[in-house]
Amino acid sequence: MGTCFHRQRGMTVVETLLTLFVMSVLAVVLISRYERLTSEAQEAALRTGLVNIRQSIELFKMLNNRNPEDINELLENEVMLPARIGKEGPTGSIFVHKYLMLQATDAKGNIIDPFGNPFSYDAWRGEVKSTTKGYEAW
């Protein structure tokens, strides 16, 4: 009876190092791309959030002849508007909503931006800005 010995071939040290190097390069590329995409998404969310808050402030000012004392007032107060305005005036159903809906807030109840920092609000001017470093001028 003859026995057959099968030679099993394993990876050499060079092949193992090459595999680890390629995997490391891919990981670095994917992580940096993920971080960039996350940053771009946060910036887009900040732009949208600022537009929504600023439009809510303008609507509040038009209907109340004053700026809100605090941007949280936009979350607390409701606005009633007709669904359609025709030549004869308002027609159709009335909808009631908050001036500003569903915003992320911190433990103190301050509205926060996508980076987790509270917005800065100047009630005298009716201006809202981000307090996140690098985005204050948006």
Calpha distance 124→67 (Å, rounded) = 7
Q: Is the pLDDT of residue 2 over 60?
A: no
Question: Is residue 133 scored above 90 in pLDDT?
Answer: yes
pLDDT of residue 7: 62
- What's residue 101's pLDDT? 85
More confident residue, 42 or 94: 42
The mean pLDDT value for 78-107 works out to 79
Between 89 and 57, name the one with better pLDDT: 57
Name the H helices within the chain: 13-64, 72-76
- Predicted confidence (pLDDT) per residue in 38-81, tens digit: 999 999 999 999 999 999 999 999 999 999 999 999 999 998 87
Identify the CA nearest to 108 among candidates 118, 121, 120, 97: 118
Which residue shows structure tokens 């050499």?
Answer: 12
Residue 3 has pLDDT above 70, yes or no: no
pLDDT digits (tens, 9 = 90+) for 4-42: 656 666 678 888 889 999 999 999 999 989 999 999 999
**CA atoms of 35 and 53, how far apart (whole Å):** 27
pLDDT, tens only, 113-130 = 999 999 999 999 999 999
Report residue 112's pLDDT band, with 50, 70 and 90 as the boundaries: very high
